[in-house]
Amino acid sequence: MIIAMFVGITTAFAQKKNAEIEIMTSAQCGMCKDRIEKALAYEKGVVSAVLDNETKKVKVVYNPKKTDPDKLRLAISKVGHDADDIAADPVAYEKLPGCCRKPGDPKRVEHGGGEHNH
């Protein structure tokens, strides 16, 4: 019983070590969501990452001893998307499919009928 109490207390303290941040992205569709969430999942210290396509914000829970907000923004930039004030990596952006490009980009492909997944 003492061990169970110790494990419960340890788990409670471990959860408080995590930090949370919301990062504004340039995501446009379900493919963008998948790409950004996957990139963040590979980042050391990331506990979870969920992008809301409506707001274009990704909510990231992370261990601040293993990563920081700038590294998280850089990870998003490296897959071709803006992250707060960090611009998308131009080489990665050029590799994005047309549906994932920013509005106003002449290479952007619009899709009718709302969100899509590829």
Each residue's pLDDT tens digit, 100-118: 999 999 999 876 544 444 4
User: Can you give the pLDDT at residue 110?
Assistant: 78
C-alpha torsion sign, points 97, 88, 26, 41: positive
For 16-98, CATH gives 3.30.70.100
Nearest to 16 by CA among 61, 70, 79, 51: 61
Cα 102 to the chain's mean position, in Å?
17
Sketch the domain layout of the chain as residue ranges: 16-98
* pLDDT confidence band for 64 (50 / 70 / 90): very high
Q: Cα(7)–Cα(113) distance, rounded to whole angstroms?
A: 49
Q: Cα(71)–Cα(52) distance, rounded to whole angstroms?
A: 20
